[in-house]
Amino acid sequence: MLGGYGGFGARIARRLAAAGHEVLVAGRSREKAERFCEGQPSLTPLGLDRDLGLAAALAEHRPFALIDAAGPFQGTGYDVAQACIAAGCHYLDIADGREFVGGIGVLDEAALAAGVAVIAGASSVPALSGAVVRELAVGVERISAVEMAISASNRATAGPSVTKAIFSYIGKAIPLWRGRRPHTGHGWQDLQRLDFSITGEATLRGRVVGLADVPDLALLPERLPGRPAVTFRAGTELAVQNLALWLASWPVRWGWLADLSRFVPLVLRAQKLTSGFGSDRSGMMVRLFGLAGGRRVERRWTLIASGGDGPEIPGLAAAILVDRLAAGSIAPGARDAGELLALAEFEPAFSALAIRHEATEWPQPAALYERVLGARFLAMPASVRAMHGVLRDDGASGRGTVTRGNNPVARLVAAVFGFPAEGEHVLHVSFTEKDGAETWTRDFSGNRFTSELSQHGEHLVERFGLLRFGFHLEADDRGLAMHLKRWWLGPVPLPLALAPRSLAREWEADGRFQFDVPIALPLVGTVVHYRGWLERK
């Protein structure tokens, strides 16, 4: 095992030895390996530099499998895996590098020819996370979003490799799939504060997590029905640490710094100084939103590790997979670990540790437009209903035509609200839903403007900044019409006589969702008029 005396490697080595395996504990420091193996007859120390002499060591010792727990894997190649293939031994790693794990399939042909398995990502992601998601997805016909988070105990301090891996992407662009199209986030931004809760356990409250770059962001949208939006956030227990990383992410995002790698030694020292704060409890959460039997649901899996057992979790998948390789139940070839294990296979290890987990299902309320319209919602054409059935995340693409008013006041208003330029446009609309409200981001050939929609009594309310507009909705088998009935500046109602003139319409033609939205001002005339079509794909 490479990195066999490191933070995660040591735990995997002990676990394998306890299961009856003979383990070569390898690393650059023979002295550290000897200290770690002392008094443990199933563990044998080996001084080995992965960059020098790996092929010779494999030829000499002829291991059944090699586990690479050294890392970091971001920005590295497949030299170790290729050496294993050449030596005819199985290969596993605990990589969480998105490109490294996602690209392991390039070795498939060589691994098949050698008759060995090459498995990347045998860790919390994507092995455990993938197992959880597949368990939650049973019986869900269309998944709209998957949201994952890990919050580590402050006493489970990250080692140099993990810290280097995290710092390699803080502030960097992270490709995401949101709104049913490619999207860009940034490492350790988009912060959220989450509670991790399990029946009978004290809740982990207010844990701050930020956007992390993991293989699941690329793997899961392609593997799940509905091609859902996928996000993954991570964080340490202490909010101040996450806020510091968030602040540090901005100079990287702005291009002032290439990355934060130079600060890793400083951060490791700071971790030691603060290790006495916080608790020994860690959490992991996976939330899946979708339609199950036509019902709008959130399925949630939550894990809480106590007693300092959280750091054991990243090593569980590797140990399970070694047993399966020994049993001959994994076919040769190169693949990521995201589809290899079932959640039940982790249960014996969870039960032996201070780890509890729980899956729950939460019914989700009807979509916003359905709540406002009631029974009338079902009368509308199918494509109109589908466009307004937003659950957590959705999107649609099409074409739009924009006409702008020529009055100087109209041009000023259009500029303030960010309305698109006149002409023909490629159009995409992203929808996000949270707590019953929706955010619509309309993208006309790169010109974006956003509004927020919610319910106010019998009205649908759309907010642009401080201005809110209340609409009465009419719906029948021909489509939907939106009549402006009220408007406000902040909490202050404004006279309807001064309100913009707008009668938005939606209908179906040629199997597509069609829309027509004119906006005019009294005495000014047309501000903007956009119309076109959209499709959900």
Give pLDDT tens digits for 495-534. 999 999 999 999 999 999 999 999 999 999 999 999 999 9
Give pLDDT tens digits for 467-504. 999 999 999 999 999 999 999 999 999 999 999 999 99
DSSP code of 114?
H
d(CA 364, CA 361): 9
Asked whether residue 336 carries a pLDDT value surpassing 80, the answer given is: yes
Enter the pTM of the model.
Answer: 0.95
Give pLDDT tens digits for 42-75. 999 999 988 888 999 999 999 999 999 987 788 8
CATH superfamily placement of domain 368-535: Calycin beta-barrel core domain (2.40.128.20)
Closest CA to 287 of 436, 127, 132: 132
Q: How far is CA 57 from CA 54, 63, 115, 319, in A?
A: 5, 9, 20, 22
Query: From the DSSP assignment, how many helices (H) and strands (E) are in the chain?
Result: 16, 26
pLDDT band at 7 (very low <50, low <70, confident <90, very high): confident
In 266-314, beta strands by DSSP E: 282-292, 295-305
Q: Cis peptide leading into 365, omega within 30 of 0?
A: no
Length of the chain: 537
Closest CA to 518 of 493, 501, 497: 501
The pLDDT, as a whole number, for residue 235 is 95
Q: Does domain 129-309+355-363 have CATH number 3.30.360.10?
A: yes
What sections of 45-157 are H helices per DSSP? Answer: 54-61, 79-87, 98-102, 108-114, 129-136
What sections of 347-506 are H helices per DSSP? Answer: 347-351, 368-373, 382-387, 408-417
Closest CA to 340 of 362, 321, 358: 321
Number of C-alpha atoms within 13 angstroms, CB side, residue 423?
7
Residues in a beta bridge with 402:
423, 530
| Ramachandran area for residue 161 (φ above 0: left; ψ -120 to 50: alpha; else beta) | alpha
Query: Does an H or E element contain 267, and which?
Result: helix 264-274
d(CA 496, CA 3): 70
* Torsion sign across C-alpha atoms 66, 71, 74, 77: negative
d(CA 111, CA 60): 21
Q: Mind spelling out the 3-state secondary structure of 35-69?
A: HHHCCCCCEEEEECECCECHHHHHHHHCCCEEEEC
The pLDDT, as a whole number, for residue 157 is 62
pLDDT band at 154 (very low <50, low <70, confident <90, very high): confident
Give pLDDT tens digits for 181-195. 999 999 999 999 999
Distance of CA 167 to the CA centre of its chain: 18
Q: Which residue has the tokens 């023979």?
A: 30
Residues 6+ apart with CB under 8 A from 533: 398, 399, 509, 512, 513, 514, 515
What does 192-214 look like in DSSP terms, one character per residue?
A: EEEEE--TTS--EEEEEEEE---
Cβ atoms of 137 and 224 closer than 8 Å: yes
List, by residue range, all CATH 2.40.128.20 domains of the chain. Answer: 368-535
Asked whether residue 161 carries a pLDDT value surpassing 90, the answer given is: no
List, by residue range, all CATH 3.30.360.10 domains of the chain. Answer: 129-309+355-363
At how many degrees (to 10) do helices 160-167 and 7-18 cross? 130
Q: Helix or strand or coil: residue 121?
A: coil
Give pLDDT tens digits for 298-332. 999 999 999 999 999 999 999 999 999 999 999 99
Backbone φ and ψ for 190, nearest 5 degrees, come out as 55, 50
The pLDDT, as a whole number, for residue 84 is 97
pLDDT band at 158 (very low <50, low <70, confident <90, very high): low
Asked whether residue 277 carries a pLDDT value surpassing 70, the answer given is: yes
Q: Which residue has the tokens 């494509």?
A: 383
Q: Mind spelling out the 3-state secondary structure of 440-469?
A: EEEEECCEEEEEEEEEECCEEEEEECCEEE
d(CA 67, CA 75): 19
d(CA 150, CA 232): 8
Asked whether residue 30 carries a pLDDT value surpassing 90, the answer given is: yes
Asked whether residue 202 carries a pLDDT value surpassing 90, the answer given is: yes
